Amino acid sequence: MINMAVKAELTNRMFDVRHVGYAEGLSSQRVFSIVEDGDGAMWIATKTGIDRYNGHTVKNYDLPGSFYYGDLAGRRLYLLYDAQQGLFAYDHTGRIYRYSTILDYFEQVLHLGQLIQEEVILNKLCLDSDGTWWMGADKGLYKQEADHRIVAVLKGQYVNDIAFAGESLFVGTSNGVWQLSHALPDKKRQLLEGWNVQTLFCDKQKKELWIGTFGSGLSVMNLDTSKVLALEGQGSTFLHPIRAITDYDVHTILIGVDGGGVYAIDKDTKKARLLMNTKDDTDTYLRGNGVYAVTRDDQGNIWIGSYTGGVSVAILLKHPISILAHEKGNTHSLISNNVNDIEENPDGNQWFATDDGISIRNTLSGTWKHVLKEIVTISLCTSGNGNVWVGTYGDGVYLLDNNGRVLRHLTKQQGQLTTNYIFSVRQDMEGDLWIGGLDGCLIMFEKEKGSRRSFDVNWVQSIEPIDRNRVAVATVNGFFLVDKHTGNIQHYANSQEFHNQNVSAYIISMLFNDDGTVWLGTEGGGLNLYDMKNRTVKTFTVQEGLPSNDIYSLQRDDKKRLWVSTGKGIALIDSLRVSNLNYAGNIDKEYNKSSFARLMNGEFVYGSTDGAVFIMPLDISTVDYWTLLRFTGLTVDYQNVQEEESLKPAIHDMLADRAVRLGYKYNSFTVSFESINYRFERDIVYQHILEGYDNDWSKSSAEGKASYTKVSPGTYLFKVRSLRRSDGKTISESTLEVKVSQPWWNSWWAWTIYLFIIGFVFYFILRYKSNQLQKKYDEDKIRFFIDTAHDIRTPVTLIMAPLEDLNREQDLSDKARYFLNLAHESTRKLHSLITQLLEFEKVDAHKQSSSSVPLCLNEVLLKEVSVFRSFCEKKQLTLNLTQPDESVFVSADKHLIEMLLDNLLSNACKYTMPQGEISLDLKATKRKAILSLKDNGIGIPKKAKKHIFSDIYRAENARQSQEEGTGFGLLQVQRIVKMLHGKITFCSEEGKGTTFIVTLPRTTTVTEPVSHESSSNTLPAHRIITATKRIK
């Protein structure tokens, strides 16, 4: 980094003035107030709004509120910053706003006119050490009490400014100065009368009150004696309104004059001197003399706000750099901005070779002379007698005297040169003249003999004397050492030598070292440090910090540091460390080949395509500086205004905690950051990386923000660092944890639901497959039983008939009859089992062929009860039937209904113990017929309930009851109910009984009377015949 020498006296040469206006984003060129906040950012109040400037960007803020058109006429905005209370803005109508760092906008907190119920013009707002507000207006001085009441302290005075000094309060009015006490505001006295006081400044150390007036100049009051001293020699400028007075340091006061610029006044001598105004005869000029605001920041820079010129920033410690450029219509300036070479005559005059001739500057008188106009001049060389040799592009070589008159003209046509396109003209240590050019060979003119010699060296770019005998010649293919006495030519650093290396042999400039090495500036290949003995090379490029890889001139200053002009600025190399100087002033230019001169005062001059740059190298030294890197905000992309406003408080808190949590829909965002240092703002660049997202640090950029789009859910660490462009060193680094939440469909609870659903589906599939297999198994088992039943039914029937005949014989012994009865009973059971199996098959057959007709359940139930009545009486069971008075019809096949009731009643009778009770109950609703069968039998065990209606199954207690059964009955009932589009449920408790509830769709229309006999007789025969055909 660069440190500049500073004089004790404050002068304009200590500053580098930059301007902030519309082009930089300022809301208006009319500036009334400037303050610095705790972060070092500058806040600027303009006619239009409030602007924040950090050295790189301007951010605009509007002040909210409902305004009349009259409120905007002559509008003036002002600022106040307090370390404890924060930033305030106020306008001339009495509206006061506080800046919210959380919401990043100004909110109105008070309207003076409304509180005192009259229109006012608010000129000044101040906060005392207790945080009390003091307001100076056209109606007087007001104070806000602790209970927020507004109290008029000084009525009837047009207050322009307020200043504090200990327990005293000084008030500047249009009619003088008043002094009040903080504690006792009623205790007041008028110090001055009749003066239109515009601004006040209290120097607490010297106990002086500076008073700026409108038309009466600037005065200083001694606070101990109340004696007023008017500054001598103020001149007419100080009769203009004095709008600003501010402290610069212990020795200097700054004065802003409306119409006169900025003045610096010595506190001790009280002498004023012009610091800067709109006169542009120097680089430190303002763009408007109507100065309203002058502020010194913590870095010693001066901020000047004017009524028409925006903001001018006088950066402390101006880089010792100045620019000479062509001014249109001004003959006392360069004739052309493209400066190809510079020379200084022994008399101190400066010669500039340009594309439009030569400009000669008389440094004593400041006058200019232009010669060889319209000739492209490339190279200059001063001879011992003050004459100047001039190499041109296409017109040979001229010799001019020190007044610019042509003495000689050498050309190829005259046989004196081998080319008219001259790139370099140099005089060696013995005074011999060397000339090299675009084509043709190298020429030497001997000073003593006047003879000409040529050497076989072509495409010359520059010539450098080495000693009394030798010169070095840079060419497009390496460089040559030419011994003029022996004629020996040595070739170095050529393309053949570098054929296996990525090194450029196109050499523009050279600088030899004492250790046998030479610095070689190349075009496109950077800077090479070449060892002539070993023929090795070390290369410096933009990767090492050079502004460009086009190296056009090389110089060594008195501190042995290497200065390098390039195609994009200037660099300084000290101990092989490269420092880029482009941040310093306006020197990031494209410089021309070998366009350089070292003046007698030690100043370096570089020729560029945009004028000549003057640098005092000894005033520049490397220095480290530091500035805080802070996060300024985080914005989420694709948000509407409401969302953005609602997120601001949370984002503010998260940035303060350095941990940001973003929802998945907010995964596109921009992080803003800044390092504020106005002096070195052009040197500060940033790099950033989002670890876990980026693979490497970003390229260096001056833009203080990083944008990311569609960041995947996860936790990341955002790192940003500020670096010095000049040497690449890190200034400061900061980190921010960024966590992007999972989308709802990828959250832990969503995955829990997914796993539950997957598990449920998997379980369902397993159960379904298991049930399908079980169903197939049951069906195969049933089919096997049925097929077997078909096969053995006829033999069993044939066995039963003879057994019945034998049983009717009278002469059988008791033993024979016992065995006969045993065989008959066993055969009957087998026949019953076969019959049930065949009945089960009939259900499937009937499902295909049955037709439903309206059927009266009342009649069917009566018949079924009568059938089972005798069985119940035999077993001592009570069988009850309850029916409604109305007839209940269902659409069904009578045989299916009978099978259903037979199975249910049969089970109830079999598994109900003697003295038990069976109840059959029929109920009906408008759409349903509900039949319930209840018994108090053995019941169904819990573990058996899941098999009911689904498997061929008999519960354990049913098997132990010694009652006959196959396990087909309830399965058959379920199938029948399903065929009838009904529903069957049950409830049971082991040992207490069971209740079956059958619900069938009810019908109320009898479309055709059907004979029960016909249904009973025809359907089974039909089904048996069908089954028999299929089996055969």
Q: Look up residue 570 and give its two tokens.
A: 């200037």
Residue 53 clears pLDDT 70, i.e. is over it: yes
Are 904 and 952 within one domain?
Answer: yes
Q: Are residues 996 and 855 in the same domain?
A: yes
CB contact at 8 A, 31 and 312: no
The pLDDT of residue 881 is 93
Flag whether pLDDT at 506 surpasses 50.
yes
Q: How far is CA 332 from the centre of its chain?
A: 52
Distance CA 29, CA 21 (A): 6
Residue 1019: per-residue pLDDT: 30
Enumerate residues 6+ apart whose C-beta is below 8 A from 514.
none
Structure tokens at 772: 């399908």
7 inside domain: no
Q: 596: left (phi > 0), else alpha (psi -120 to 50), else beta?
A: beta
Residue 408 domain-assigned?
Answer: no
571 lies in the same domain as 705: no
pLDDT at res. 829:
65
Domain count of the chain?
4
41 Cα distance to chain centroid: 21
pLDDT, average across residues 539-567: 95
Q: Which long-range contacts (CB under 8 A, 24 or more apart) does 483-489 make?
A: 484/428, 484/432, 484/444, 484/453, 487/455, 489/455, 489/456, 489/457
Regarding predicted confidence, which is higher, 698 or 449? 698
Phi, psi (rounded to 5 degrees) for 157: -120, 140
**pLDDT class for 1029, splitting at 50, 70, 90?**
very low
Neighbours of 421 (CB within 10 A): 18
User: What pLDDT score does 849 carry?
Assistant: 54
In whole angstroms, give the CA distance from residue 444 to residue 428.
10
DSSP state for residue 362 in the 8-state scheme: -
Residue with tokens 């750099």: 321
Split at pLDDT 50, 70, 90, the class of 598 is very high
Q: Are residues 709 and 831 in the same domain?
A: no
CATH of the domain at 508: 2.130.10.10
**Residue 457 in tokens:** 């060296």
Last residue of a domain, one of 719, 740, 761: 740
Reported as a pLDDT band with limits 50, 70 and 90, residue 1020 is very low
Domain end residue (candidates: 844, 865, 890): 844
Average the pLDDT over 354-366 and give the result. Answer: 94
Q: In this structure, are 983 and 916 located in the same domain?
A: yes
- Is 922:888 a contact under the CB 8 Å cutoff? yes
The boundaries of the domain holding residue 961 are: 850-1001
- Among 55-64, 196-205, 757-766, 902-911, whose mean pLDDT is lowest? 902-911
pLDDT band with cut points at 50, 70 and 90 for residue 329: confident
1025 has a pLDDT exceeding 80? no
Are 874 and 980 contained in the same domain? yes
Let me know if residue 800 belongs to a domain.
yes
Phi and psi at residue 391, in whole multiples of 5°? -95, 135
For tokens 């002094």, the residue is 179
If DSSP states are collapsed to H, E and C, what string results for 173-241? ECCEEEEEECCCCCCEEEEEECCCEEEEEEECCCCEEEEEECCCCEEEEECCCCCEEECCCCCHHHHCC
Please name the residue that has the structure tokens 């190829």: 412
Give yes or no: residues 892 and 991 share one domain: yes
In this structure, of 12-21, 380-389, 553-562, 825-834, the range with the lowest mean pLDDT score is 825-834
- The Cα–Cα gap between 399 and 378 comes to 14
Q: What is the mean pLDDT of residues 578-598?
A: 90
Is residue 481 within 8 A of residue 495, CB to CB? The reply is no
If DSSP codes are grouped into helix, strand and coil, which group holds residue 776?
helix
Task: Determine which of 259-268, 273-282, 539-548 has the lowest per-residue pLDDT on average.
Answer: 273-282
Q: Count the neighbouring beta carbons within 10 Å of the beta carbon of residue 282.
A: 11
Cα distance between residue 1009 and residue 177, in whole Å? 123
Which residue among 591, 619, 647 closes a domain? 619
Order of strands across the sheet that contains 77-82: 77-82, 86-91, 95-100, 105-111
Q: Buried b vs exposed e over 298-333: b needs ≥16 C-beta within 10 Å? A: ebbbbbbbbbebbbbbbbbbbbbbbebebeeeeeeb
pTM confidence score: 0.70
pLDDT at 691 over 50: yes
CATH number at residue 995: 3.30.565.10
Mention every residue, 6+ apart, whose C-beta is less than 8 A from residue 198: 160, 161, 172, 212, 213, 214, 241, 242, 243
Report if residue 423 sits inside a domain: no
Helix, strand, or coil here: 541? Answer: coil
At residue 635, the pLDDT reads: 93
Dump the DSSP string for 463-474: EEE-SSSEEEEE
- Domain CATH number, residue 633: 2.60.40.10
520 lies in the same domain as 535: yes
Instruction: Tell me how far CA of residue 141 lies from CA of 50, 92, 158, 193, in angstroms.
Output: 25, 14, 8, 17
- Statement: residue 755 has pLDDT above 90: yes
Please check the confidence at residue 137 and state whether its pLDDT lies above 90: yes
Q: Flag whether 819 is in a domain.
A: yes
Cβ distance 631 to 671 under 8 Å?
Answer: yes
What string of DSSP letters covers 92-157?
Answer: TTSEEEEEETTTTEEEEEEEHHHHHTS---EEEEEE-TT--EEEEETTEEEEE-TTS-EEEEEET-
pLDDT at 318 over 70: no
CA atoms of 827 and 629, how far apart (whole Å): 105
Q: Is the dihedral of CA 236, 239, 242, 245 positive or negative?
A: positive
For residues 560-588, give the mean pLDDT.
90
Chain centre distance of CA 711: 10
Positions of E strands within 9-85: 15-20, 31-36, 42-46, 50-53, 58-61, 77-82
pLDDT tens column, 870-901: 889 888 999 999 999 899 999 988 888 888 89
Q: In what order do the strands lie in the sheet with 140-144?
A: 122-127, 133-137, 140-144, 150-155
Q: How far is CA 626 from CA 57, 684, 698, in A?
A: 20, 10, 21
Query: How much is the pLDDT for 697?
Result: 96
Token pair for 30 = 């009319």
CATH number of the domain encompassing residue 784: 1.20.58
Q: What b/e string do you get for 533-547 counting C-beta neighbours within 10 Å, with b at 16 or more?
A: eeeebebbbeebbbb
- Does a structural domain hold residue 749? no
Could you tell me which residue, 518 or 315, shows the higher pLDDT?
Answer: 518
| Dist CA 960 CA 951 (whole Å) | 19
Cβ–Cβ under 8 Å, residues 313 and 20: yes
Q: Burial of 400 by CB count in 10 Å (0-12 exposed, 13-18 middle, 19+ buried)?
A: buried
Q: Are residues 808 and 857 in the same domain?
A: no
Within a domain: residue 950? yes
- Cα-trace Rg, the chain: 55
- How confident is the model at residue 28, as a pLDDT? 95
Is 240 inside any structural domain? no
Residue with the bigger pLDDT between 837 and 25: it is 25
Residue range 142-157, pLDDT digits in tens: 999 878 899 999 999 9
- List the single range of 127-131, 431-435, 954-958, 988-992 with lowest mean pLDDT: 954-958
What is the total residue count of the chain? 1032
User: Does residue 693 sit in the same domain as residue 613?
Assistant: no
- Nearest by Cα to 462 from 474, 454, 480: 474
654 shares a domain with 598: no
Q: What pLDDT, on a 0 to 100 scale, did the predictor assign at position 145? A: 85
Predicted pLDDT at 554: 97
Residue 837's pLDDT band (cuts 50, 70, 90): low
* Residue ranges with strand state E in 345-439: 350-354, 357-361, 368-371, 377-382, 388-392, 397-400, 406-410, 422-427, 433-437
Instruction: Provide the 3-class DSSP secondary structure of residue 836.
Output: helix
Residues contacting 285, CB < 8 A, separation 6+? 17, 276, 277, 278, 279
* Of the candidate ranges 314-318, 655-659, 729-733, the one whose mean pLDDT is the lowest: 314-318
Percentage with pLDDT > 90 across the chain? 63
pLDDT band at 407 (very low <50, low <70, confident <90, very high): very high
Q: Are residues 661 and 610 in the same domain?
A: no
